[in-house]
Amino acid sequence: MIGAGYMTPQQIKAQSEEIKQLTPRPFGINLFVPNAFNGSEESIRSATMSLQLIRQAINAQQPDSIDIPQFDQLVITFNEQIKVIIEEKIPICSFTFGLPSEQVIAELKQHNIILIGTATTVSEAIEIENKGIDLVVVQGSEAGGHRGNFMSNTQQSLVGLMSLIPQVVDHVNIPVIAAGGIMDSRGVMASLCLGAQGVQMGTAFLTCTESGANPVYKDAILSAKEDQIVLTRAFSGKFARGIFNQFIAHMQPYEAAFPDFPIQNALTKNLRKAAASQGNKEFMSLWSGQSPRLAKNQRASLLIHSIIKALKDA
């Protein structure tokens, strides 16, 4: 799976061609579904002021100007991403932050592309099935990165996998893929016991040798504890789970008033980039699920083989 939410259509095409050179096996692209968002001039001005204080503290330059995302433009880009997926005959396409229009779904299905939706509650999973999607990822409260809720609010969406998997399985007929805190064969086996037919693992691969994540980010996960993993909307305007750091601490009093995703994401972009280039983990977004103590710096093949071996032995 390629997380392509922030990629241009050209980047998706390049990634797709690179993968096809490497393997004849199926692969998938994950996209962010555009949603209407709010961001008053006042909230943007206020967030910009809060961020400027942080920029000064870490000697990061204020950008000359910031392009504020426009919903219409996001929809145009999304449609271009879909077009590339069809042109490139990418076998699988998954969605986060909701579902595309019925027209887009119909078009992708016409081209025999397997579709996957992301749900955080039973109602969302039922909606995904009703829209004709082929599989559903259920994102437990344990999951790192952005919450995928699109019908429920963030608090309602924080259901642990022990509860979420069997309740969804009892209410849909499409295969369920479990996501959130799954790091090794134990989590995979548990997910299967609960009724899932597959799993989606993020943080577990992030610290692998082959991962291109910033080494500072990898080290932060490898030394984090489960009670340091928090939810914040300060980085992007949408709630996401990651390692608590100074940025989250400083922004806590203000974050409720920040503009929505993806405006806040655009406002913090150059700050995050500056922190990353300084290797300063206190001001980077360090997305992680709730199982950082299970993270290892190992080859991805070792992780996969250990899971397959455990499944065979069971």
- With a CB cutoff of 8 Å and minimum separation 6, the contacts of 133 are 95, 99, 105, 115, 116, 117, 174
As beta bridge partners, residue 230 has: 242
Asked if 216 is part of the footprint of a copy of itself (rule: CB under 8 A), the reply reads no
Q: Which of 204, 263, 290, 303 binds a copy of itself (CB under 8 A)?
A: 290
Q: CB–CB of 152/97 below 8 Å?
A: no
> Does residue number 52 form part of the binding site for a copy of itself (CB under 8 A)?
no
Tell me the Ramachandran region of residue 59: left when phi exceeds 0, alpha when psi lies from -120 to 50, beta otherwise: left
Bridge pairing between strands 198-200 and 114-119: unpaired
Q: Which is nearer to a copy of itself, 9 or 289 (CB)?
A: 289
How many helices and strands, by DSSP H and E, does the chain display?
12, 10
Taking CB under 8 A as the rule, does residue 211 contact a copy of itself? no
Q: Does 181 bind a copy of itself (CB under 8 A)?
A: yes
Query: What is the biggest distance separating any 2 CA atoms in the chain, rounded to whole angstroms?
Result: 59
Between residues 99 and 105, which has the closer beta carbon with respect to a copy of itself? 99
Nearer to a copy of itself, 186 or 299 (CB): 186
Name the residue nearer to a copy of itself (CB basis): 101 or 156.
156
DSSP code of residue 309? H
* Minimum distance from residue 302 beta carbon to a copy of itself (Å): 18
CA end-to-end distance (rounded Å), the chain: 27
Nearest distance, CB of residue 78 and a copy of itself, angstroms: 27
| Nearest-angstrom CA–CA distance, 50 and 21 | 46
Q: How far is the CB of 6 from a copy of itself (least distance, A)?
A: 27
Tokens of 88: 């490139």
> Which of 41, 64, 67, 227 contacts a copy of itself by CB under 8 A?
227
Nearest distance in Å: CB 206, a copy of itself: 15
Q: Give the interface size with a copy of itself as a residue count (CB under 8 A).
A: 45
User: What are the CA-CA distances from residue 92 to residues 2, 109, 271, 293 (Å)?
Assistant: 10, 10, 34, 31
Rule CB under 8 A: choose which of 106, 193, 308, 311 binds a copy of itself.
Answer: 193
Ranges within 108-167 binding a copy of itself (CB under 8 A)? 121-123, 140-142, 152, 155-164, 166-167
* 209 makes contact with a copy of itself (CB under 8 A): no
Question: Using CB under 8 A as the criterion, which residues of the chain lie in contact with a copy of itself when the complex forms?
Answer: 121-123, 140-142, 152, 155-164, 166-167, 170-171, 178, 180-184, 186-187, 189-191, 193-195, 225-228, 230, 289-291, 293-294
